[in-house]
Structures are given as C-alpha cells and as structure tokens.
C-alpha cells in the first residue's frame, strides 16, 4: 500500500468567525472555497450548534445548499455532526455527491437512528468516523462504533475507508 500524506487540511467554524455573522453560504468564504477547488483540497466545516456559548444559526447545514450548488467540485465535510439538524444534513448528502459528514465530537452510541440508518443504506460511503480526543477517546469511540447495528462491511467504511477516500482520493 502506498503511503500518502495530507499536505493541508482546511477547517472552518462559522460560529467562531465574526461572532457567527458569516454562515457557510456567505461570500466571505468564496476565496477559500475557490482555492480548495483549485488545489483539490478537502474542506471541513463545523455544522450543528456549537458547544461554547456562540451563535449556532451560522452552522446550520442548510447554508451548505448554496455552497454545494456554487462549488460542485469542492470536497466538503460537515464536522462535529449536525445536531439538531441531522435529517437536514442527510437530505443534503442525498442531494450533493461532494458532501460528507464526520461524527467527530459525538459518542457513536449517541448518534441518532436516522444517521445510523443512512450509514447502513445510501450513506455507506458518506459518513466519516472521528473521536474528539482527549474528550472522547479513540479507544472508547471505536469500541462504541463496533457495537453499532451495522451491516457487514459498513463498519470498515465508517472507521477507515470513507475518510481515506475523502481526504486522499482525487
């Protein structure tokens, strides 16, 4: 197997920039989206209500609808889940082939049933595993993931293959 390295990883947290005044659909991010497309770099973007006391509406996944329309070649991943908008995130992944979701900052046993169903069916290649170490240890999260009611082969995709494809395949 060829060893690959990730040269650059972009992550954006809309609630953290400009006091939450710039949702993902705001043109302030367009230069970043354009550069990521030019360089074929994946982009991770926080979705869901943030843990710190910051405005959460800027991280509503629906803002990615316009981003995916305007930048269809952008490899985009919603990170930290999409709570409380999980079903909106799932609908967007059904609509856009360039969109993924990472379960970082979520204990696998706490993932909603709708996401587990999507992971087992049409979303087998769309959901990426991550812990939130040191808050949620990798050992704990992998152990919990192994106990999920997943179809054969789905656990490997969730824990490894989907991230490998998203971050390294072009």
SS (H, E, C) 43-72: EEEECCCCCCCCCCHHHCHHHHHHHHHHCC
- Please report how many Cα atoms fall inside a 13 Å half-sphere around the Cα of residue 116, on the Cβ side: 16
Which of 4-8, 41-45, 73-77, 147-151 shows the lowest mean pLDDT across its residues? 4-8
The answer on pLDDT for 1 being more than 50 is no
CATH 3.90.1260.10 fits 10-168, yes or no: no
> CA-CA-CA-CA torsion for 137, 155, 13, 70, nearest 10 degrees?
170
Measured between alpha carbons, how far is residue 68 from residues 2, 11, 78 in Å?
A: 31, 16, 12
Task: Break the chain into its structural domains and give their ranges.
Answer: 10-168
> CA-CA-CA-CA torsion for 24, 47, 6, 115, nearest 10 degrees?
-130
Query: What count of other Cβ atoms lies within 10 Å of the Cβ of residue 42?
Result: 22
Provide the mean pLDDT of the chain: 91
* Residue 132 confidence (pLDDT): 86
pLDDT in tens, 118-169: 999 999 999 999 998 889 999 999 999 999 999 999 999 999 999 999 999 8
d(CA 62, CA 47): 9
The answer on pLDDT for 5 being more than 60 is no
DSSP run (H or E) holding 31: helix 30-39
């Amino acid at each position: 197997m060829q060893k690959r390295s990730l040269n650059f990883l972009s992550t954006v947290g809309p609630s953290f920039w400009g006091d939450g005044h710039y949702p993902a659909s705001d043109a302030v991010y367009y230069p970043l989206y354009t550069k990521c497309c030019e360089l074929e770099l994946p982009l991770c973007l926080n979705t869901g209500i943030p843990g710190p006391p910051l405005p959460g509406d800027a991280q509503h996944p629906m803002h990615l609808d316009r981003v995916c329309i305007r930048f269809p070649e952008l490899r985009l991943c919603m990170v930290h889940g999409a709570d409380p908008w999980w079903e909106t995130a799932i609908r967007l992944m059904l609509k856009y082939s360039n969109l993924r979701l990472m379960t970082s900052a979520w204990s696998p046993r706490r993932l909603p049933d709708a996401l587990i169903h999507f992971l087992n069916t049409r979303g087998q290649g769309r959901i990426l595993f991550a812990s939130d170490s040191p808050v949620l240890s990798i050992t704990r999260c992998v152990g919990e993931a192994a106990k999920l009611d997943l179809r054969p082969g789905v656990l490997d995709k969730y824990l490894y293959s989907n991230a490998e494809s998203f971050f390294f395949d072009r």
